Structure 1
Amino acid sequence: MTHVSVRRGLLYVSIAATAWGTGGAAGALLDLSGGIGPVAVSFWRFAAGAAMLLLATRLFGLGGTPGRPSGRPRNLGGILLTGAGMAVYQTAYFAAIADSGLAVATVVTIGATPVLVAAGGRLLLGERLGAAGLGSVAVALAGLVLLTLDDGSGSFSASGTWWALLSAAGYAGVTLLNRAFATEPYATATGGFVVGGLCLLPIALVQGLLPSGDPLVFWTIIVYLGAVPTALAYGLFFIGLGAVRATTASVITLVEPVGATLLGVLLLGERLTPAAVCGGCLLLGAVALPALNERGRTGVPA
């Protein structure tokens, strides 16, 4: 298991969330330029992410412990569950983007996750939220409610919201699982990508794996999607989970909608309603409280 300080764990989770913010935009661009559906997008993301992590493990010796080959999984059951959960929440996320747009789908998914993780962390892991944790979850929930209000502008989609909530449930399950059990993060991420890809492959084959648009554009986006918001982000996220509580990690990932919203508005021509803007601001405002509380709780320096 890779051990890091609380401060470094917070940094790794923040970097992962920032990288994830670009993943939705990449998936949306794949849909526009390649004409493939959300299951196929998720499959290619997992396949590219697994290939890049395997390559990095071989080249740089990531992970592993003395006397144990780098990257060999130590918890096969956990990796299988992680992969299945990742398959569910990634596909549901891209389906939510197709129904509701990048910005709303991202903020609903990431906004609902801390509520689910907080409940699961308390019941399953015995994590106490404290005043800061309760406050951050309450603010996040208020932002989520504002974000999903339908003002007739067409930005609201009931099916898109349900897809986003399913994605949040899967994401929460993966977070709690990998916080509860000590695993090698790179092996867990790689194994999760392989299992998730295998779960999605039959549906992706029916849906159509290959693009109908420019192959160069398609494969360029696939390489980026596999490298940055997948291999890099998940590796750092699983390392960070070894240092910070599950609820803290899930709330910190609320920084993801910043990048996703900007990309959705600037690149994809999406529009946010005033209520959605206020909801997004509340979600982002919920980030600072648990991060400060985590460092104050431990007092562990970098």
Structure 2
Amino acid sequence: MLVSEKPVVAARGSATGLWSLVLAGVLWGTGGPTGGLLAHQTGLSPLAVASYRLAVAGLLVIGWLCLARKPLPRSREAWSRITVNALLAAVFQASFFAAVSLTNVSLATLLTIGASPALVLAAERVAGRRRVGASRLAAVALAVAGLVLLVGTPAGGITTTGALAGGGLALLAAAGFAALTVIGTRPVAGLDDLTATGVSFAIGGAVLAAASTLTSGMSFVPTPTSVGLLLLLGAVPTATAYALYFRGLRTTPASTAALIALLEPLVATLLATLFLGDRLSAAGLVGAGLITIAIVLNTRGHR
């Protein structure tokens, strides 16, 4: 009886992991528009927004851990993982918001998250950790095709130089996110998802704050709107979303998780269209549909 229950427990864990990833993708979609609104309200640079985002998320999680009286990890392996995650998060966030400032929310988000599945799949293939099947290749191909349609005719006002520089920064952010995803599939004993998220982001935020202080500065005039946006940015699309994402990685392959993360550009594009004045062409709508199909096919294939 106990032996027969193991597949059921594994299936439940896999389903929970998938839903954690789906919810993380949806919550992430609010990050770009919220960060853009925060920058507009405060005049903060992309680097400052990224540092505040990580720092606030980290401090909120650490505060919760203190209230729960949960001790910090002590092993060298746990702190090595935390340090690596902190540096990757800093690179990812700084590059992403810099790309947003040079292009727009939709284009930066689509390039960053859209390129990640291909990078993760390539990493898995090179490492020999997972066989690349036809269904997985088809899902990635659909996602890439949808990405091309979505960003093929970006909104006006973006210069060629801005598009090239912003695209390069978005791809750098994609590489950072892909590395976080691949590394996150290997759990560390004694290090839970919430602790890893909070401590890593607090360190990453401090690294970016130091860089921002030396360049663009961190000061702004606090208002109820700006403080509310800052707390929202740290709590929802950062602390909560990443904790869910790391939890999902425990039972889901990295390439599957990276494809599910494509929910972020879909949600971000919808929000940017509704509230930030971005516009999608007919080809863009088709691209969004292809990305949705890729996510559904990939999720059903994993289940």
TM (norm. structure 1) is 0.88
CA distance in 2, matches of 1:189, 1:180: 15
1:148 correspondence with 2:154? no
> How far 1:150 moved relative to its partner?
4.3
Alignment-mate amino acid for residue 179 of structure 2: G
Q: Contact (CA 8 Å) 1:39, 1:200: kept in 2 or not? A: yes
Match of 1:231 among 216, 224, 239: 239
**C-alpha separation in 2, matches of 1:224 and 1:109:** 22
Partner Cα separation in structure 1 for residue 37 and residue 201 of structure 2: 21
Matched, 1:240 2:211: no
Alignment match of 1:17 (pick from 17, 21, 25): 25
Identity percentage of aligned residues: 35
Is 2:54 the partner of 1:51?
no
Among 193, 198, 202, the residue aligned to 2:201: 193
Q: Verify: 1:134 aligned to 2:137, yes or no.
A: yes
Equivalents in 2 of 1:54, 1:152: separation in Å?
40
3-state SS in 2 of match to 1:129: coil
Partners of 2:192 and 2:264 in 1: CA distance: 24
SS of 1:52's equivalent? helix
Deviates more, 1:195-204 or 1:152-161: 152-161
2:86 is aligned with 1:80 = no
Q: How does 1:1-302 map to 2 (within 5 A)?
A: 5-60=13-68, 69=71, 74-124=77-127, 126-150=129-153, 153-154=156-157, 157-182=163-188, 183-206=191-214, 207-212=216-221, 215-295=223-303
After the TM superposition, which of the residue ranges 99-108 and 248-257 deviates more from structure 2?
99-108
For residue 51 of structure 1, report the CA deviation from its aligned partner: 1.2
Q: Is the 8 A contact 2:82 2:199 kept in 1?
A: yes
Please give the secondary structure, in 2, of the residue aligned with 1:256: helix
Bigger drift between 269-278 and 253-262 goes to: 269-278
From the superposition, tell whether residues 219 and 126 of structure 1 become closer, same or farther in structure 2 (CA, over 3 Å).
same
Residues 125, 180 of structure 1: 8 Å contact kept: no
CA contact (8 A) 2:62 2:199 kept: no
Question: Bigger shift: 200-209 or 144-153?
Answer: 144-153
Deviation of 1:87 (Å): 0.6
Residues 152/270 of structure 1: CA separation in 2 closer, same or farther (3 Å cut): closer
Structure 1, 183-192 or 72-81: larger mean CA deviation: 72-81
Greater shift after overlay, 53-62 or 276-285?
53-62
Whether contact under 8 Å (1:111, 1:283) holds in the other structure is no
Whether the aligned pair in 2 keeps the contact of 1:179 and 1:246 (CA below 8 Å) is yes
**Structure 1's 290 and 152: CA in aligned 2 closer, same or farther, altered over 3 A?**
closer
Distance across 1 between alignment mates of 2:128 and 2:241: 24
Relative distance call for 1:250 and 1:230 in structure 2 (3 A) is same
Shift of 1:85: 0.7
SS in structure 1 of the partner of residue 16 of structure 2: helix
After alignment, is 157-166 or 169-178 more displaced? Answer: 157-166
In structure 1, what is the Cα distance between the partners aligned to 2:176 and 2:144? 18
* Letter aligned with residue 205 of structure 2: G
Q: Distance in 2 between matches of 1:294 and 1:60?
A: 35
* Aligned equivalents of 1:32, 1:251: Cα separation in 2: 30
Residue type of the alignment partner of 2:277: G
Equivalent position amino acid for 1:160 in 2: G
* TM-aligned CA deviation for residue 194 of structure 1: 2.0
Q: Does the 8 Å contact 1:155/1:272 carry over to 2?
A: no
Q: 1:229 to 1:71 in 2, by over 3 A?
A: farther
Task: Determine if contact 1:57/1:71 at 8 Å carries over to the other structure.
Answer: no
Q: Match of 1:293, as an amino acid?
A: G
- Normalized against structure 2, the TM-score is what? 0.88
Structure 1 residue 89, shift from structure 2 partner: 0.9
Amino acid paired to 2:169: W
Deviations 1:21-63 (A, max 9, x none): 001111100111100011111111111111111122233467x
Contact 1:251/1:290 (CA < 8 Å) preserved in 2?
Answer: yes
Q: Which runs of 4+ in 1 moved over 6 A?
A: none
Alignment-mate amino acid for residue 77 of structure 1:
S
